[in-house]
Amino acid sequence: MNKKQLGNSDLHLSPIGFGAWAIGGGDWAFAWGDQDDNDSIAAIHKALDLGINWIDTAAVYGLGHSEEVVARALKTTSHKPYIFTKCGMVWGERDAEGKRDITNSLKQIRREVEDSLRRLQVETIDLYQVHWPKPDEELEEAWTVMADLQKQGKVRYIGVSNFSPAQMERAIKIAPITSNQPPYSMLNRAVEAEILPFTLKHNIGTINYAPMHSGLLTGAMSKERVAAFPANDFRSRAKNYQEPYLSRNLAIADHLKEIGTRHNVNAGVVAIAWTLHNPAITAAIVGGRNAKQVEGVIPAITFRLTDAEYAEINVFLEAHPAP
C-alpha cells in the first residue's frame, strides 16, 4: 500500500479512510437512518484490520454519538489510527417535539474541542477541522482559535472543510492549513475548477468525502431501495436520488460495474479510484455501516484505474450529462 503525506503534516495516510458519518445514527437532520452500534464497531474493526489507518468523524454526526462509537471501537482493538474530527456545527436542547436545532457557529470552538476530546477519550486530536466556513464573518476569529489549540497541543494539525480558495487564503494569513475536506465524486465535480488546483499549489492535503456519492455509485443502489428509504435518511430528500437525476446516476453506476467486473471489484471501488486518480487528492473518505460493506470497498486501498479506463469513464460522463 502506498501511503501519502497529508499536506504539511507528518501524517501518512492509507489511500482510503473510514468515514464515520452514517454511524452517528438517525437522531439528527442529516442522518442516514437508524444504525446498530455493534455493526458500526465491527465495521471500524474490520477497516483497521484490513489496513485503513485513519478515521474521520465530526461532532455533529449523530450529535456526538459518532465520536462516542469511535471511542468504543478503539477501546477494543490494538490498532492506533489517526483520529480526525470537526467543529462548527452546534445543536441546542430538544424542543417540545423532541427535535434539536443545528446551527453553524464558529464562536464555540474552545468548548467543542473539549467535548470532542471527552467523547473520543483521547488527549490529542490528530486533525481538527472547521466543518463549514459559516458564518463567514467569524472565519478569522475561528482560525485564530484553531491555531491556538494547535499550540496548546490539544490538536496536532488543523484543517478546513468545504472552504473556497478565497476563504483558505484568508485562513492562511493567520496560520498554515494542513488539509481541506471537500465533496468530490464523478457526480459532483465542482471542486475541479478552482479548489483542487489551489490546494495542490499550496501543499494543502485534500481528503474528499462522498467519493461514491453517499452510496449512489456503489452498484448496490436501485430505484426500489431509494423508494424504501426511511424518513430519517437524508438521501430520501437529496436531489441526485430523485428523478430525472436518479436514472442517469444509476446508469453511471452500471457502467462502473462493467469496469469493475474486469478486475473483480465492485462499482464503488471504481468510483473511489476515479477520485484518487486526481493528483490533488491525498486520500478518500469511505463510509461503512457494517463489516461486509467495508470488505466490499477495501480493494480501493490498492486498486487504481489506468489512464485509459479513467478516460473511458470521463467519455461516458460527457455522454450522460446531468439533466
| pLDDT tens-place string over residues 252-311 | 999 999 999 999 999 999 999 999 999 999 999 999 999 999 999 999 999 999 999 999
pLDDT at 95 over 80: no
Please, which pLDDT band fits residue 99 given cuts at 50, 70 and 90?
Answer: confident
Does residue 180 lie in a domain region?
yes
Q: What is residue 192's predicted lDDT score, i.e. its pLDDT?
A: 98
Alpha-carbon distances, residue 203 vs 26, 134, 313 (angstroms): 37, 24, 28
Examine the residue annotation and report whether 61 is marked as an active-site residue of this protein: yes
Q: What is the pTM of this model?
A: 0.94
Q: Tell me, what's the pLDDT at 267? A: 97
Please give the helix or strand (H or E) that residue 210 lies within, else none.
Answer: none
pLDDT at 179 over 80: yes
Confidence of residue 113 (pLDDT cuts 50, 70, 90): very high
Asked, for residue 246, whether it belongs to a domain, the answer is no
CATH code (residue 26): 3.20.20.100
Handedness of CA 36, 39, 41, 43 (dihedral sign): negative
In a domain, 129, yes or no: yes
Does the residue 228 lie in any domain?
no
What's the mean pLDDT in 59-82?
Answer: 97
- Please give the tally of structural domains in the chain: 1
229 is a domain residue:
no
Q: Which is it for strands 12-13 and 4-5: parallel, antiparallel or unpaired?
A: antiparallel
Which residue segment(s) compose the domain that 207 sits in?
12-215+283-303
Q: Name the residue among 293, 256, 254 with its Cα closest to residue 272.
A: 256
Q: How far apart are CA 203 and CA 315, in angstroms?
A: 30
Predicted confidence band of residue 195 (pLDDT cuts 50, 70, 90)? very high
Give the Cα separation of 260 and 269 in Å (integer). Answer: 8
Residue 197 forms part of a structural domain: yes
In a domain, 184, yes or no: yes
Q: Choosing from 61, 82, 184, 241, which is the catalytic residue?
A: 61
Q: What is the mean pLDDT of the chain?
A: 95
Query: Is position 322 within any domain?
Result: no
- Tell whether the torsion through CA atoms of 167, 171, 176 and 178 is positive or negative: negative
